[in-house]
Amino acid sequence: FIVVGLDSRAVPGMGKRSLDSIYLKLGQVEMDDMAEGIRALWNRRYIDKNRVGIHGTSYGGYTAVMELVRHPDVFAAAAASSPPTDWRNYDTIYTERYMWIPEENLAGYDAGSAMTYADKMKGRLLLYYGTADNNVHPSNSLQLIHKLQQLGKSVDLQIGPDLGHSAVNQQRMMEFFIENLVMIEDRGSRTDDRASANGPRSPVER
């Protein structure tokens, strides 16, 4: 794998103007920034743009889910651990600093919900949560699973019995990416002539 780390406009150290760009818009600006960062790599001969994966825990898990459903043309697989999936399900002391209250920012909450884009999901999702998570309640993952089931979409699920805010086993995550990014037939939907002319290119894992 080629491993890529990207910063969006909302990362610490970028100044207030940058942070203001996500106010009332969690899950929008920063997700689009990262997707554009990956698209910028598509012209590299050693990158296979059909085999891009993303993983993360907590907000990183939210990022992984949102990228998979919001940008299905960019990400083919995601491993998401303990993700909030709708900010209405998370604690208000954090959420309302960025999103204000749902009654006065309904459009922002809807746009930041993974369920809003679930019907667009084309890639594979590995979802993990701990049953004793008192930070991001398991209902976040269950709500997403329920939505995907309604849409007839599959999800790989890992559960940590009696575990709190934690992440999927690293070995299982690697197996998931190998299964879904390496040991697969060429999707062909986003390949170009250089793929065959220069041999296989490396998958990318963010």
Point out the catalytic residue in the list 7, 110, 119, 165. 165
Point out the catalytic residue in the list 8, 58, 113, 141. 58
Question: Buried (b) or exposed (e) across 117-135, using 16+ Cβ within 10 A?
Answer: bbeebebbbbbbbbeebee
* Alpha-helical regions (H) of the chain: 16-20, 29-39, 59-70, 92-99, 106-111, 114-117, 139-150, 170-177, 193-197
Q: Report the C-alpha gap between 162 and 133 in whole angstroms.
A: 8
* Residue 33 annotated to the active site: no
* Residue 133 annotated to the active site: yes
Contact yes or no for 194/45 (Cβ under 8 A)? yes
Half-sphere exposure of 1 (CA within 13 A, CB side): 19
Contact yes or no for 195/44 (Cβ under 8 A)? no
- Residues marked as catalytic: 58, 133, 165
